[in-house]
Amino acid sequence: MPLVTTASIVDAARTANAGALAFNVLHLETAEALVTAAERSELPVILQISENCARYHGSLRPLTLACLALAEESTARVSVHLDHLTDPELLRQGVAAGAVSAMVDASALPYAENVAQTAELTRWCHSRGVHVEAELGEVGGKDGVHAPGARTEPTEAHAFVEATGVDALAVAVGSSHAMLERTAVLDRALIQRLRGELDVPLVLHGSSGVSDEELRAAIAAGLTKINISTHLVSVFTRSVRDTLTASPELVDSRKYVAPARAAVADEAERLLRLLGAPQSVSDETETHERRATEGGAK
pLDDT in tens, 104-122: 999 888 889 999 999 999 9
Crossing angle, helix 61-73 and helix 88-97, to 10 degrees? 30
Residue 144 CB neighbours (<10 A): 8
Strand, coil or helix: what is 189? helix
Report pLDDT for 150. 72
pTM: 0.88
231 membership: H or E segment, kind and range: helix 230-246
| Cα 108 off chain centre by | 19
Whole-number Å distance between alpha carbons of 285 and 73: 41
Whole-number Å distance between alpha carbons of 287 and 177: 27
State the fold for domain 6-297: TIM Barrel (3.20.20)
**280 or 56, higher pLDDT:** 56
Residue boundaries of the structural domains of the chain: 6-297
Per-residue pLDDT reduced to its tens digit, 227-272:
999 999 999 999 999 999 999 999 999 999 999 999 999 999 999 9
* Segment 176-205 mean pLDDT: 82
Quick one: pLDDT band at residue 95, thresholds 50, 70, 90?
very high
Strand, coil or helix: what is 134? strand
CA dihedral sign of residues 227, 6, 101, 116: negative
CA angle 119, 120, 121 (to 5 degrees): 95
Q: Which residues are catalytic?
A: 83
Q: How far apart are the first and last CA of the chain?
A: 52
Report pLDDT for 292. 36
Residue 188 CB neighbours (<10 A): 18
Report pLDDT for 176. 61
Is the per-residue pLDDT at 166 higher than 70? yes
Per-residue pLDDT reduced to its tens digit, 119-160:
999 999 999 999 999 998 655 444 433 344 578 899 999 999
| Cα 269 off chain centre by | 15
CA dihedral sign of residues 176, 177, 178, 180: positive
